[in-house]
A and B are shown apart, each in its own frame.
Chain A
């Protein structure tokens, strides 16, 4: 693929992440922290975010199988999830975290489970689209390297 076309595709894919409400301004601040001394900062943050949150998802899943539900524990896990998602800029995931917590505080188990399912969907969508974006961005960087005079 011609490089300029590739660059346009990368830019378009990035913009889509914001236009679809998956990411917010906080993610832009993370991108601005990336520089020559830390060229993989954003991807490293993404990896850390998914490490943190996948553990929390497992914990929440296990808690949602217990009866009666321990709303205190669920609340605690979702607090951490929201903190990580807010700091990362995961806009839709963050919104589901807030909704889940409201159901938790109301002692509404069904609401918690429904919201958790939606959260999982948003989380998976974000992960998939970020992976695709970074893969394309890496491809673009490779073509930049290849096109430099030797």
Chain B
């Protein structure tokens, strides 16, 4: 039908960096631990939105455009609790990026993400070491359980 209007200007959340706003349950909960994430997406708007969403939940988030940049970052010693990787990246695609990250011993939760869900892509990504594979958008329904899981 359409979103109900309850305000004129978009009003966002406020709160400390460690606070998480669980809108789905109407409750606030605080992360016990500092969480970090890496977004790997060549789409500018996707990268910005995913980063902003994670940061709004207190997750320290970095973003890169390519699989090669993600691999370089991990190789330099950076560690992340969560890595979100777009399926169709140029040159080094999502699954290959995940494979190389896993080969370096990274134990991050890896979430493969795609614009169009395809079972073969899912199989490829999971075989490469991803833990989950979802279709965009990265929504609260997906992010909140992941944050809770990582925080525990």
Contact = CB atoms under 8 A, between A and B. Distances in A.
A26 B8 contact: no
14 contacts: A15-B2, A19-B1, A23-B3, A31-B11, A32-B13, A35-B11, A41-B52, A45-B49, A49-B45, A52-B43, A52-B44, A87-B46, A87-B49, A87-B138
A29 B45 contact: no
B136 A87 contact: yes
Interface stretch (A77-85, A107-115, A116-124): A77-85
Contacts, number: 110
A44 B3 CA distance: 21
Interface string B28-46: 0000000000000011111
Interface string B70-102: 000000000000000010100000000000000
B152 interface: no
B5 A83 contact: no
A86 B137 contact: yes
Q: How large is the interface on B (under 10, 10 to 19, 20 to 34, 35 or more residues)?
A: 35 or more
B137 A87 contact: yes
